[in-house]
Chains A and B, each alone.
Chain A
Amino acid sequence: MNRYLSQVMTIIWKDFITEIKTRELFSSMFIFALLVVIIFIFSINLSLIKASEVGPGVLWVAFLFAGTIGLNRSFMLEKENDCLQGLLLAPMDRTALYFGKLVSNLVFLLIMEVFTLPLFMVFFNIDLLPHLLPLLYVIFVGTLGFCAVGTLLSSLSANLKTRDIMLPILLYPIIIPIIIGSVKMTGQVLAGEPLSSMMNWVSLILCFDIIYIAISIMVIDFVLEE
């Protein structure tokens, strides 16, 4: 177990050190998320529609699109110089590779989301501070599900010629339940409702998180096989 955890941590360490050196992933995701928020700000007339009603949808669209860029890049790094082959030849369970990449993707996305929130707050003129903790919880469970299935599918699409197109085509239909739940919960949190009043949504998203992670563990061997 110690060795397994050590291998997971080693993959996370490698991803972090690469990101610290290149800053490619964070900068591209953050700028993209920012652009999405700005585009929506100019396309929505906030004098007619309440910002708290459209805001959650805009926020999750920004997270979704920017996150897809991050997930695509995640396994692209492993394809350069065929590093993925080096990982597959290492004496480790392939689920360790999956969990290492999952945690890296999750942390990178959460950092991007945390940086996007203040901008969203300014542009949509919504005070997030009173709801910050429940909002961060909703963002965490939603992003976890997104990354769980996204990491699996990015490992699958990394071997395809049309990888840039295939990831969103495969990913978006599968994560619809998580995105719907996350948008609904974010709206309710911004409306000041406590998390205890939305346990149905919380349970639904957590169930999907668990299901997606369990399926990924079961199929990752086959997905990574040539």
Chain B
Amino acid sequence: MNEQINPDSSHSIIQVQELRKDFGYLQALSGVSFNLNKGEFLTIFGPNGAGKTTLIKILTGLMRPTSGSANIDGFDALEGNTMLRSRIGVISHATCLYPDLTALENLLFYAKLYGLDDPEERANESINTAGLQLRRYDPIRTFSRGMQQRVAIARATLHDPSVLFLDEPFTGLDLQATSDLKDRLRGLHTGKRTILMTTHDISCGLEMCDRVAIQSRGKFSLFESVDCIDQSNFKNLYTKSLEQ
């Protein structure tokens, strides 16, 4: 399927081949394959239990697959390579922020872990970009969900990753926070950064992506360029794909 859309895999920054993951008798992924070029934004839609989070966990080295291969930015994603981890960023509905530490302390902590030059300056820059300079000394515990998500984005992009994984980033956000997050993601979608996002939110997902995939029962039932699909009819297409 992916070969039809993306025949030249030599330019692909993400190459996934026949990825499978079994949890006992349950097959979370049953042969996912796709390629994604540098600078592309892929949105993966799918119902709960489709295996979207499992796919991201495998691609980010947090989980080992049962079989298959995945290559990201020239590194084997399945080996838990530390070099690869310095090139990827992950944002999920969990913020990975320490609630008792301030926003600045959280970012400083991660900047030091990533071995960035001048971590204080980098943390301050990131907090300014997130628009939270007036709250930098406040504990994360006192932040709204939307503000926490802005700090989480700052955390995930501190090291300027070339590949960004977003796992249901809109979960629990109100309309204003969703709009802010979309603006921030548009800012991050530069030609040098590849983004892979999973979401249930069809309008948010379609708005920003270059490629769209539908994942159901552990495999892709659709993988297309967003220009090749009828966006006004996507909800029907999505429902049909799930029924197949």
A residues touching B (Cβ–Cβ < 8 Å)? Answer: 3, 6-7, 10-11, 13-14, 17-18, 21-22, 77, 80-83, 85-93, 221, 225-226
Which one, B63, B83, B97, B99, contacts A91 given CB within 8 A?
Answer: B83
Across the interface, which residues of B come within 8 angstroms of A92, CB to CB?
82, 113
A18-B98, A21-B101, A85-B90 as given contacts; A221 in contact with B80, CB under 8 Å: yes
Contact across chains for B62 and A226 when beta carbons are under 8 A apart: yes
Smallest beta-carbon distance B203→chain A, Å: 27
Across the interface, which residues of A come within 8 angstroms of B61, CB to CB?
88-89
Complex CA distance for A11 and B98, rounded to whole angstroms: 12
Smallest beta-carbon distance B140→chain A, Å: 8
Across the interface, which residues of A come within 8 angstroms of B139, CB to CB?
21
Contact across chains for B90 and A89 when beta carbons are under 8 A apart: yes
Smallest beta-carbon distance A18→chain B, Å: 5
Contact across chains for A90 and B105 when beta carbons are under 8 A apart: no
Contact across chains for B85 and A77 when beta carbons are under 8 A apart: no
Across the interface, which residues of B come within 8 angstroms of A88, CB to CB?
61-62
A18-B98, A18-B100, A81-B98 as given contacts; A90 in contact with B62, CB under 8 Å: no
Contact across chains for B57 and A90 when beta carbons are under 8 A apart: no
Across the interface, which residues of B come within 8 angstroms of A22, CB to CB?
100
Across the interface, which residues of B come within 8 angstroms of A225, CB to CB?
62-64
Measured as residues with beta carbon below 8 angstroms from the partner, the interface class of chain B is 20 to 34
A3-B115, A14-B98, A92-B82 as given contacts; A85 in contact with B62, CB under 8 Å: yes
Contact across chains for A14 and B88 when beta carbons are under 8 A apart: no
Complex CA distance for A86 and B60, rounded to whole angstroms: 11
Complex CA distance for A91 and B115, rounded to whole angstroms: 9
Smallest beta-carbon distance B3→chain A, Å: 30
Complex CA distance for A85 and B97, rounded to whole angstroms: 10
Contact across chains for B97 and A83 when beta carbons are under 8 A apart: yes
* Interface Cβ pair total, 8 Å cutoff: 82
Contact across chains for B94 and A82 when beta carbons are under 8 A apart: yes
Contact across chains for A226 and B101 when beta carbons are under 8 A apart: no
Prevailing SS type, chain A contact patch: helix
B residues touching A (Cβ–Cβ < 8 Å)? Answer: 57, 60-64, 80, 82-83, 85-86, 88, 90, 92, 94-101, 105, 109-110, 112-115, 139-140, 155
Across the interface, which residues of B come within 8 angstroms of A3, CB to CB?
115
Smallest beta-carbon distance A11→chain B, Å: 8
Across the interface, which residues of A come within 8 angstroms of B57, CB to CB?
226
Complex CA distance for A6 and B86, rounded to whole angstroms: 16
Contact across chains for B90 and A6 when beta carbons are under 8 A apart: no
Smallest beta-carbon distance B150→chain A, Å: 14
A10-B112, A17-B101, A18-B100 as given contacts; A90 in contact with B85, CB under 8 Å: yes
Contact across chains for A17 and B105 when beta carbons are under 8 A apart: yes
Across the interface, which residues of B come within 8 angstroms of A17, CB to CB?
101, 105
Smallest beta-carbon distance A95→chain B, Å: 12
Smallest beta-carbon distance B15→chain A, Å: 20
Smallest beta-carbon distance A128→chain B, Å: 35
Across the interface, which residues of A come within 8 angstroms of B140, CB to CB?
81
Across the interface, which residues of B come within 8 angstroms of A7, CB to CB?
112-113, 115
Smallest beta-carbon distance A66→chain B, Å: 21
Smallest beta-carbon distance B130→chain A, Å: 16
Across the interface, which residues of B come within 8 angstroms of A89, CB to CB?
60-62, 85, 88, 90, 96
Most B C-beta atoms less than 10 A away, residue of A3, A85, A87: A85
Most A C-beta atoms less than 10 A away, residue of B64, B92, B100: B100
